[in-house]
Chains A and B, each alone.
Chain A
Amino acid sequence: MPFEDFTPPQALEKLGQGIKVFEGRLHPLTLIISLLKYGRALVPALALVLFGNRWAGAPLLFFTVIGLAATFIKYFSFKYRIENNELITQEGLIEKRQRHIPLERIQEITIEQGVLHRILGVVDAKVETGSGGGAEASLSVLSRAEADKFRQMVFAHAAAIRAGKTSTDETTPNDAVAVEPETVVIRRLAIRELVVAGLTSNHLLSALALAGAVWNFADDLLPDAIYAKTGRLISREAKHLADQGIEWAIAVSVAGIVAIALIGIIFSVIGSVVLFYGFTFSRRGDDLQRRYGLLTRRSSSLPRRRIQVLEIEEKALRRLFGWATLRADTSGRGRESSDDNKGRDVLLPIVPVRDVDELLPGIFPDVSFAETDWRRVSSRAVLRETVEISVICLVIAAALFFWSRSWWALLPLVLIPLAYWLFGLSYRQLGYALSNAYLRTRRGWLGRSTHIVPISKIQAVEVHQSPFDRWWGMATLTVDTAGQAFTGGGPQISNLPVLEARELATVLAQRASVTRYKW
Chain B
Amino acid sequence: MIEKNETHHPDTIEQVEEFHLLDPRAIKLWRTRSLASFGIFILVMLAVAVSLGIAVPVTRTWLALGWGALTMIYLWFSFWFPPRYYRSWRWRIDARVLELRHGRLIERMRLIPLARLQHVDLKRGPLERMFGLASLVIHTAGTHAALTTIPGLEAEVAIRLRDHLVEIGGDDAV
Interface residues of A (CB under 8 A from B): 102, 104, 130, 170, 331-332, 434, 436, 458-467, 470, 478, 480-484, 489-490, 500, 502-519
Contact = CB atoms under 8 A, between A and B. Distances in A.
Contacts of B142: 459-460, 480-482
A513 B145 contact: no
A503 B111 CA distance: 11
Contact of B114 (A470, A482, A484, A513): A513
A459 B109 contact: no
A147 to B, nearest CB: 27
A331 B141 contact: yes
SS class, residues of chain A in contact with chain B: mixed
B107 A513 contact: no
Interface hub of A463, A507, A516 (most chain B Cβ within 10 A): A507
Given A130-B141, A459-B143, A462-B109, 7 more contacts: A436-B5, A467-B106, A484-B144, A510-B9, A510-B11, A510-B13, A513-B114
B11 A507 contact: yes
B42 interface: no
Interface in B1-56: 1-5, 8-9, 11, 13
Nearest to A373: B3
Given A434-B2, A462-B111, A482-B141, A517 B172 contact: yes
A367 to B, nearest CB: 15
7 contacts: A484-B144, A507-B4, A509-B99, A509-B111, A509-B113, A510-B13, A517-B116
B112 interface: yes
SS class, residues of chain B in contact with chain A: loop
Contacts of B114: 513
Contacts of A434: 2-3
Interface hub of A460, A500, A508, A514 (most chain B Cβ within 10 A): A460
Contacts, number: 124
A480 B143 contact: yes
Contacts of B148: 460
A460 B99 CA distance: 10
A483 B2 contact: no
B161 interface: no
Interface of B: 1-5, 8-9, 11, 13, 96-97, 99, 103, 105-116, 140-146, 148, 171-172, 174
Given A460-B112, A462-B145, A519-B174, A514 B97 contact: no
A464 B99 CA distance: 13
B96 A463 contact: no
Interface hub of A170, A467, A514 (most chain B Cβ within 10 A): A514
A149 B114 CA distance: 39
Contacts of A466: 105-106
A519 B174 CA distance: 6
Contacts of B144: 478, 480, 484, 489
Given A331-B141, A484-B143, A512 B115 contact: yes
Contacts of B8: 170, 436
B109 A502 contact: yes
B14 to A, nearest CB: 11
Given A482-B142, A506-B97, A514-B115, A463 B109 contact: yes
Contacts of B110: 460-463
The 8 closest A-B pairs by CB, nearest first: A459-B142, A513-B113, A509-B111, A513-B96, A480-B142, A512-B113, A482-B141, A480-B145
A512 B116 contact: yes
B174 to A, nearest CB: 6
Given A436-B5, A480-B144, A484-B143, A517 B106 contact: no
B9 A511 contact: yes
A483 B143 CA distance: 6
Contacts of B171: 516
Contact of A480 (B97, B106, B140): B140
A450 B4 CA distance: 23
B77 to A, nearest CB: 19
B106 A460 contact: no
Contact of A460 (B3, B13, B96, B111): B111
A518 B172 contact: yes
A467 to B, nearest CB: 6
Contact of A517 (B5, B9, B115): B115
B113 A490 contact: no
A460 B103 contact: no
Contacts of B111: 460-462, 505-506, 508-509
Contacts of B113: 458-460, 509-510, 512-513
B115 A516 contact: yes
B115 A513 contact: yes
Given A482-B142, A505-B109, A514-B96, A460 B1 contact: no
